[in-house]
């Protein structure tokens, strides 16, 4: 008689890299007889894959863990684990503060998850927050081959050496490490066999990619051009980038590689040179603006996205106005903006804070400007013909939804299925999506 699969529930916080990591953890545990489920009720193992970027990240994890006490009481054999960046930052403190947790594993060690689970099953509190010398990707199982959606994430680079004053990534993810080209190609080809037509290359600082290619070192542009030769892979994106690593070859790739989509997320964080220096960003506002000009010269229709932090320690109204001026000049099609929140252990956490009310006011003013720019970018799409990759059925009968070349959500009424790549004329702009008709 075949033993029923054990149930694994994973809750993922944060960025696309955590989404990718959760997929790989599920695959690793699949070899131990686990099947992923969508609810913690009735699970044999619960994993929280955490992010340490947002405010009070650790407290949110402890709060979530508290909700699982009744499940643990009802099923003493339930395994509960904390993975990801909060696990890396908090380590043994998680086991001390929340005794129901059985294992803690950092983002560079999750390939050891099956061994940690076995130790926990034996009654030991299992902890692994090392930065192992061996790359986790070399020890993870080959990705399974069932059909999947038409888009996928693929991590090519991890860690960061920039040490921005506000960021915990160098401490939780470690130094920059790039995967070998051959391993990435193999995984990409496997994803295409599963039905994937668009891959987003991931990295904490993805354009710092410097992977081994049989004795040579390739940059991200060379990797993209090689992936573009994979039959059946129709679209390539990458995120997240640092301005200091946008080299000439990568800029050129936006103009000469047809499969590289015209959308670029390029965070700047502030428009004030004084604040950029205090952030340790390593570039000026003017250098960033000139870089955007070069990118647009290579690909005139590219849609620019970015990140901004307002209320950074010691930011003045004059500094903030410089940020607003940069936004006006760049004209973003999409953006993410946040009020600064201190991360213990980072240099900025020790500096004088901006008055919270003033920071709130600045954030509202910035977001209002960014919203106007986003609407203008979407409105400008009306009448244009774009490629759309269908991802899922829409809310209305006969409707489907997909993503345009520029990453806009597009809905249309047509007899199409997920994975279809079609040309669509945009007919209408709504607040968060576009409507279109097949050409």
Q: How confident is the model at residue 266 (pLDDT cuts 50, 70, 90)?
A: very high
Alpha-carbon distance 241 to 275, whole Å?
19
Looking up residue 49, the CATH number of its domain turns out to be 3.40.50.12160
Residue among 239, 241, 246 nearest 202 (CA): 239
Looking up residue 400, the CATH number of its domain turns out to be 2.40.50.140
* Domain-ending residue, one of 92, 108, 128: 128
Q: Which residues contact 227 (CB under 8 A, 6 or more apart)?
A: 184, 185, 188, 199, 201, 233, 236, 259
Which residue is associated with the tokens 């790039």? 178
**165 in a domain, yes or no?**
yes
Alpha-carbon distance 275 to 284, whole Å?
10
List pLDDT tens digits, range 147-164.
789 999 999 998 899 999
Q: What percent of the chain has pLDDT over 90?
A: 74
Query: Domain check: are 374 and 235 in the same one?
Result: yes
Contact of 274 with 319, CB cutoff 8 Å: yes
Contact of 16 with 239, CB cutoff 8 Å: yes
- Please give the pLDDT value at position 21: 87
- Of residues 371 and 18, more confidence is placed in 371
Which segment of 119-133, 149-163, 280-294 scores lowest on mean pLDDT? 119-133
> Over 80: is that where the pLDDT of 132 sits?
no
**275 in a domain, yes or no?**
yes
Structural domain boundaries, residue 37 = 6-128
**182 in a domain, yes or no?**
yes
- Of residues 200 and 341, more confidence is placed in 200
**1 in a domain, yes or no?**
no
Tell whether 164 is in a known binding site.
yes
- Residue 26, sorted as left (phi over 0), alpha (psi -120 to 50) or beta, turns out to be alpha
**40 in a domain, yes or no?**
yes
Contact of 406 with 386, CB cutoff 8 Å: yes
> What long-range pairs does 317-320 form, CB within 8 A, spacing at least 24?
318/272, 319/270, 319/272, 319/274, 319/275, 320/272, 320/362, 320/366
Tell whether 335 is in a known binding site.
no
Query: Domain check: are 283 and 414 in the same one?
Result: no
pTM higher than 0.85: no
Which segment of 23-27, 132-136, 163-167 scores lowest on mean pLDDT? 132-136
Query: Secondary structure of 264-287 in the HEC alphabet?
Result: EECCCECCCHHHHHHHCCCCCHHH
Query: Domain check: are 392 and 374 in the same one?
Result: no
Stretch 195-206: mean pLDDT: 96
Alpha-carbon distance 73 to 86, whole Å?
25
> Over 80: is that where the pLDDT of 56 sits?
no
- Please give the pLDDT value at position 140: 64
Domain count for the chain: 3
Query: Domain check: are 351 and 425 in the same one?
Result: no
* Domain-ending residue, one of 379, 396, 422: 379
* Domain-ending residue, one of 58, 93, 128: 128
Stretch 353-368: mean pLDDT: 97
Looking from the CA of 430 toward its CB, the CA atoms found within 13 Å total 10
Query: Domain check: are 392 and 257 in the same one?
Result: no
Query: Domain check: are 120 and 205 in the same one?
Result: no
Q: How confident is the model at residue 146 (pLDDT cuts 50, 70, 90)?
A: low
Stretch 395-411: mean pLDDT: 96
Contact of 264 with 302, CB cutoff 8 Å: yes
Helices (H), 31-112: 57-66, 69-74, 85-90, 92-97
Q: Which residues contact 78 (CB under 8 A, 6 or more apart)?
A: 43, 44, 45, 46, 68, 71, 72
Query: Domain check: are 210 and 328 in the same one?
Result: yes
Query: Highest mean pLDDT: which of 119-128, 166-175, 246-255?
Result: 246-255
Tell whether 257 is in a known binding site.
no
Stretch 415-438: mean pLDDT: 96
Query: Domain check: are 370 and 390 in the same one?
Result: no
Helix, strand, or coil (residue 357): helix
Structure tokens at 157: 């680079």
Stretch 98-115: mean pLDDT: 88
Q: How confident is the model at residue 1 (pLDDT cuts 50, 70, 90)?
A: very low
**312 in a domain, yes or no?**
yes
Tell whether 160 is in a known binding site.
yes
**290 in a domain, yes or no?**
yes
Query: Domain check: are 160 and 261 in the same one?
Result: yes
- Please give the pLDDT value at position 138: 66
Query: Domain check: are 363 and 338 in the same one?
Result: yes
Query: Domain check: are 225 and 170 in the same one?
Result: yes
Query: Domain check: are 371 and 394 in the same one?
Result: no
Query: Highest mean pLDDT: which of 19-28, 52-61, 178-187?
Result: 178-187
Alpha-carbon distance 88 to 429, whole Å?
43
CA angle at 66 for the pair 13 and 111, rounded to the nearest 5°: 45
How much is the mean pLDDT over the chain? 92
């Amino acid at each position: 008689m075949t033993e029923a699969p054990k149930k694994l529930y994973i809750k993922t916080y944060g960025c696309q890299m955590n989404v990718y990591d959760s997929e790989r953890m599920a695959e690793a545990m699949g070899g131990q007889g686990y099947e992923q489920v969508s609810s913690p009720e009735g699970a044999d193992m619960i994993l929280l894959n955490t992010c340490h970027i947002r405010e009070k990240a650790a407290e949110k994890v402890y709060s979530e863990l508290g909700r699982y006490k009744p499940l643990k009481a009802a099923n003493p054999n339930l395994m509960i684990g904390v993975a990801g960046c909060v696990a890396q930052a908090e380590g043994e403190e998680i086991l001390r503060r929340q005794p129901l947790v059985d294992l803690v594993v950092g983002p560079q060690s999750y390939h050891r998850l099956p061994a940690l689970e076995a130790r926990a099953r034996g009654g030991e509190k299992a902890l692994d927050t090392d930065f192992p010398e061996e790359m986790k990707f070399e020890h993870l199982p080959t990705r399974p081959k069932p059909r999947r959606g038409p888009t996928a994430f693929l991590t090519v680079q991890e860690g960061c050496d920039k040490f921005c004053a506000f960021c915990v990534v160098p401490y939780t993810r470690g130094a920059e490490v790039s995967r070998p080209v051959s391993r990435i190609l193999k995984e990409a080809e496997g994803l295409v066999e599963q039905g994937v037509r668009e891959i987003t290359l991931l990295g904490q600082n993805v354009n710092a990619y410097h992977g081994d290619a049989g004795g040579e070192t390739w940059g991200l542009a060379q990797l993209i051009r090689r992936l573009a030769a994979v039959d059946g892979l129709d679209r390539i994106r990458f995120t997240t980038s640092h301005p200091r690593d946008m080299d000439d070859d990568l800029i050129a790739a936006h103009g000469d590689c047809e499969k590289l989509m015209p959308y670029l997320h390029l965070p700047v964080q502030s428009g004030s040179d004084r604040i950029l220096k205090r952030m340790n960003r390593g570039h000026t506002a003017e250098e960033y603006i000139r870089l955007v000009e070069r990118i647009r010269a290579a690909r005139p229709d590219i849609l620019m996205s970015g990140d901004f932090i307002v209320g950074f320690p010691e930011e003045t109204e004059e500094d903030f106005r410089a940020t607003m001026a940069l936004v006006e000049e760049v004209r973003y099609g999409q953006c993410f903006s946040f009020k600064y929140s201190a991360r213990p252990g980072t240099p900025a956490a020790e500096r004088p804070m901006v008055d919270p009310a003033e920071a709130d006011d600045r954030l509202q003013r910035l977001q209002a400007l960014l919203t106007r720019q986003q609407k203008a970018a979407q409105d400008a799409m009306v009448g244009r013909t774009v490629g759309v990759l269908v991802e899922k059925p829409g809310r209305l009968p006969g409707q489907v939804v997909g993503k345009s070349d520029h990453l806009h959500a597009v809905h249309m009424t047509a007899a199409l299925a997920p994975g279809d790549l079609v040309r669509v004329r945009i007919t209408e702009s709504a607040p968060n999506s576009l409507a279109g008709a097949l050409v």
